[in-house]
């Protein structure tokens, strides 16, 4: 290995995954009890096959948690392989190298294995399609997801396995469909149908209650909020529409009343635009800003660490000229961050992606694959 670095200083030489896994397996048998050996071996393979550095950090943390009572084994793995040589065999780094699938020292067998994966053919004549490799990969990915991601993946698999079934569930009791409301503003005593009020209904109710209590002598201007408008929701991606609770649109007279008259109208270059303003909002107020548009983007703060009680605000770009507030359901999927955020964020800000990894994976599962 040292000779390669001397003779070919600009080349990147990889280590054989096969022999590394064999050595790690031997150490695992020496330090870990039999019941946990298979689990730890699976976690180790997930570390080796991590597709990026964020996933690598998550998988390594899971391995460390599982080996909390086996310091000898985890120290061997980190000191001997991961710390000095991870860029030579871990997928997050070697996938940047054009190795053509050669990850072992046996080039013939490595290329043959890659060819079999591409053709989905084993040692038979090719008359049958083998799903073993695909199912193993599906199970591996399922185990690596959090609860939200597992539910989303299970839902998509059920759509393929049970095409004639639906995910809707019947009500626990039969809902009465007769005996509608006879008088406006009242309902029968046994009327048991319930739905969660929309955002605008809460606003209208609070406004009416405030008017009855105060009864001001002079009418002042009120902020008018529009109802949930389908024409706005239809402008957002299909896979996120079911997670939208409501769209709040501020009417034009409010925008005019909020304008600072001394400054007057401003040219387009001073209007709110993304991604530039997204970074400013997230950093100035230390919030998570989600933009639904083309493209959909998540803006995390760039100088602070992850907080579990952070406020998440979602806005949508509609009609090619207007921003609206979008109220989302709890735990909705988060779109990806920008490349500039990854490039210029501080080291401690990486915890934002780790804290919201499950919701960002959920977005990737829902996003249609473009051919």
Domain ranges of the chain: 2-94, 230-354
Which of 8, 17, 48, 44 is CA-nearest to residue 29? 44
Query: What is the model's pLDDT at position 338?
Result: 87
Query: Cα 102 from chain centroid?
Result: 31
CB within 8 Å of 164: residues ≥ 6 apart: none
Query: What is the model's pLDDT at position 171?
Result: 57
Query: What is the model's pLDDT at position 371?
Result: 37
Distance CA 98, CA 118 (A): 17
Query: What is the model's pLDDT at position 160?
Result: 79
pTM above 0.85, yes or no: no
Query: What is the model's pLDDT at position 47?
Result: 92
Query: What is the model's pLDDT at position 56?
Result: 92
Count CB neighbours of 206 within 10 A: 10
SS (H, E, C) the chain: CHHHHHHCCCCCCCCCHHHHHHHHHHHHHHHCCHHHHHHHHHHHHHHHCCCCHHHHHHHHHHHHHHCCCCHHHHHHHHHHHHHHHHHHCCHHHHCCCCCCCCCCCCHHHHHHHHHHHHHCCCCCCCCCCCCHHHHHHHHHHHHHCCHHHHHHHHHHHHHHHCCCCCCCCCCCCCCCCCCCCCCCCCCCCCCCCCCCCCHHHHHHHHHHHHHHHHCCCCCCCCCCECCCCHHHHCCCCHHHHCCEEEEECECHHHHHHCCCCCCCCCCHHHCCCCCHHHHHHHHHHCCEEEEECCCCEEECCCCCCCCCCCCEEEEEEECCCEEEEEEECCCCCCCCCCHHHHHHCCCCCHHHHHHCHHHHHHHHHHCCCCC
* Full pLDDT tens readout for the chain, 371 residues: 567 777 777 777 788 888 898 889 888 988 888 888 889 989 999 999 888 899 999 999 999 999 988 899 999 999 999 998 888 888 888 888 766 666 666 555 555 555 565 555 445 555 567 888 888 888 888 888 877 778 788 878 877 777 766 555 555 555 566 655 555 555 544 444 445 555 455 556 655 665 555 555 444 444 444 455 667 788 888 888 888 888 888 765 555 555 555 566 667 777 777 777 888 899 889 999 999 888 899 999 998 888 888 999 999 888 877 888 888 988 899 999 988 888 888 888 888 988 888 888 888 888 765 43
Distance CA 353, CA 336 (A): 9
Query: What is the model's pLDDT at position 259?
Result: 54
């Amino acid at each position: 290995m040292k000779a390669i670095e001397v003779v070919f200083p600009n080349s990147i030489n990889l280590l054989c995954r096969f022999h590394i896994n064999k050595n790690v397996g031997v150490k695992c048998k020496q330090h870990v009890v039999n019941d946990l050996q298979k689990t730890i071996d699976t976690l180790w393979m997930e570390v080796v096959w991590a597709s990026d550095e964020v996933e690598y950090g998550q998988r390594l943390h899971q391995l460390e948690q599982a080996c909390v009572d086996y310091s000898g084994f985890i120290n061997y793995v980190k000191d001997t392989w991961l710390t000095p040589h991870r860029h030579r065999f871990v997928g997050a780094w070697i996938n940047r190298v054009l190795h053509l699938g050669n990850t072992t020292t046996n080039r013939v067998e490595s290329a043959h294995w890659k060819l079999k994966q591409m053709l989905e053919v084993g040692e038979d004549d090719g008359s049958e399609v083998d799903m073993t490799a695909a199912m193993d990969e599906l199970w591996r990915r399922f185990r690596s997801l959090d609860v939200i991601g597992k539910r989303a993946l299970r839902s998509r698999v059920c759509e393929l396995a049970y095409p004639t079934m639906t995910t809707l569930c019947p009500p626990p009791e039969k809902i009465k469909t007769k005996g509608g409301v006879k008088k406006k503003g009242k309902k029968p005593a046994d009327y048991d149908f319930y739905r969660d009020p929309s955002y605008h209904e809460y606003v209208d109710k609070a406004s009416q209650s405030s008017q009855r209590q105060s009864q001001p002598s002079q009418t002042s201007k009120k902020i008018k909020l529009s109802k949930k408008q389908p024409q706005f929701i239809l402008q957002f991606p299909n896979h996120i529409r079911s997670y939208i609770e409501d769209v709040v649109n501020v009417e034009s007279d409010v925008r005019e009343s909020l304008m600072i008259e001394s400054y007057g109208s401003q040219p387009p270059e001073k209007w709110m635009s993304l991604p530039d303003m997204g970074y400013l909002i997230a950093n100035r107020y230390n919030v998570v800003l989600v933009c639904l548009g083309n493209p959909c983007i998540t803006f995390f703060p760039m100088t602070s660490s992850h907080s579990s009680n952070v406020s998440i605000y979602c806005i949508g770009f509609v009609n090619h000229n207007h921003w609206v507030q979008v109220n989302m359901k709890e735990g909705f999927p988060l779109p990806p961050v920008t490349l500039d955020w990854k490039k210029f964020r501080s080291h401690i800000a990486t915890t934002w992606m780790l804290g919201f990894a499950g919701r960002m994976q959920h977005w990737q599962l829902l996003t249609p694959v473009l051919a």
